[in-house]
Amino acid sequence: MIPKKATRKSAKSTSAINKKVKRFTDEERVAMKERAQELKADKADGEGAVLAKLAAMTEPDRAMGKRLHALKELTAAEDGKNRRAREASRELRTELATEPSQDA
């Protein structure tokens, strides 16, 4: 007599029964909504939204937030200066490369 093949259950059906669905907590949902609002506000009025958020913080966090914000502004300003310097340098190289030589 030939032994019968054992019937197999799909892995999906057995594992789905034994696992609970993991969902976001209420706190995580609130944080995600706040972050989405911050991103929208950044597009419209970034500086005002940041300052409003800093004003809503408690004192130790507010002081640290203000320092970080000032550092970020300084860094962004320096990046802008560097970008302008690179563009000016590129333009000068282009002009020098395309100018006819005056040696002749």
For the stretch 10-49, pLDDT in tens is 655 555 566 677 789 999 999 999 998 888 776 656 677 7
- Residue 57 CB: number of other CB atoms within 10 A? 13
Spatial CA neighbour of 41 closest among 57, 52, 28: 52
- Residue 69 CB: number of other CB atoms within 10 A? 15
Query: What mean pLDDT is predicted for residues 65-83?
Result: 80
| Predicted pLDDT of residue 27 | 93
* Residue of higher predicted confidence among 99 and 12: 99
* Residue of higher predicted confidence among 76 and 72: 72
Spatial CA neighbour of 74 closest among 85, 86, 66: 66
For the stretch 49-64, pLDDT in tens is 788 888 998 998 998 9
pTM (2 d.p.): 0.38
What gap in Å lies between CA 102 and CA 100, rounded to an integer? 6
Token look-up 């911050």 returns: 38
What are the E-state strand segments in the chain?
none
Query: What are residue 83's phi and psi, to 5 degrees?
Result: -65, -45
| Predicted pLDDT of residue 13 | 57
| Predicted pLDDT of residue 76 | 75
Query: What mean pLDDT is predicted for residues 74-90?
Result: 75
